Amino acid sequence: MAITTLDGYIGAPKQLILHAKTATITAVAQQVTSVGHLAGSAGTTTLAGTDATVGVKQTDAMTGYPVINAFTGTKGYISRIGGYYSVSGRLILVDFLLKLGTFAYNANVSGLTTVDISGRVPGGTDFTGCEIWLEQVTAMTGSQTIAVTYVDGNNAAQTTGTIATGVAPIIGRCLRLPLANGSGVKSITGVTSTISTVGTFNVLIVRPLHYMRIPFAGYSEQRDLYGTGMPEVFADSALGIFVQPDSTASALPAWEIEIANG
């Protein structure tokens, strides 16, 4: 059953997960970068998507994501978290729900029906925390423009509108796309990319779980259940790391995550 009291948390079975990277990537200052494809404690994810029609639901059974042990209860919560970053910047912990791609720089597809991700949102119906992100697989030339059509959490057809990256995205660069409303994302139905003449990318659906600001190099911070807000996670959640350094830097991020089972 759900954890609804402090006593419930204290008595709940818990597991500790370490997710750290041992290899670095040169990121762009103030911009979000995906680091799953780098070596680390859980191995490396495959950066390039393998299905641009229905996508691939990401799970902890895939290399590159830390293994979450089966829950003894029905629900899991992030009840404590520690973050480390070897440079100043921001760490973002996300649950990777869907990887759709790889798409070419001139992608123009519609009528997609992506895989069901309802098993990875609270109650199976609450998509409000789900976001669409662009993830660069190979470097682009020029300022890429992209538009994604999708189905929102209320089962309505929506579009992100056409936005520009503003720069030629490099490998690993990520960009959150604007949504039409606050109901989140249920599936992707189309992807259109223009302007750039070289490069490939993925479209992701992710569910951000925690943000942490690292004020200076080598700093580590710990937050308890009051600091995490105890977001719900799942036994097959694909926990991954986005980084956003203050300056151009090659850096090592790490998360230490406690999951309480209720």
247 pLDDT higher than 90: no
Residue 22 in domain? yes
Distance CA 40, CA 27 (A): 17
Residue 239 in domain? yes
Residue 225 in domain? yes
Closest CA to 35 of 178, 215, 259, 245: 245
116-148 pLDDT per residue, tens: 999 999 999 999 999 999 999 998 888 889 999
Number of domains in the chain: 1
Residue 157 in domain? yes
Residue 23 in domain? yes
Residue 1 in domain? no
Phi, psi dihedrals of residue 237, rounded to the nearest 5°? -60, 140
Residue 216 in domain? yes
Indicate whether this model's pTM tops 0.85.
Answer: yes
Domain that holds residue 36: 6-261
Phi, psi dihedrals of residue 178, rounded to the nearest 5°? -70, 140
38-77 pLDDT per residue, tens: 999 999 999 999 999 999 999 999 999 999 999 988 899 9
188-225 pLDDT per residue, tens: 999 999 988 899 999 999 999 999 999 999 999 999 99
Residue 15 in domain? yes
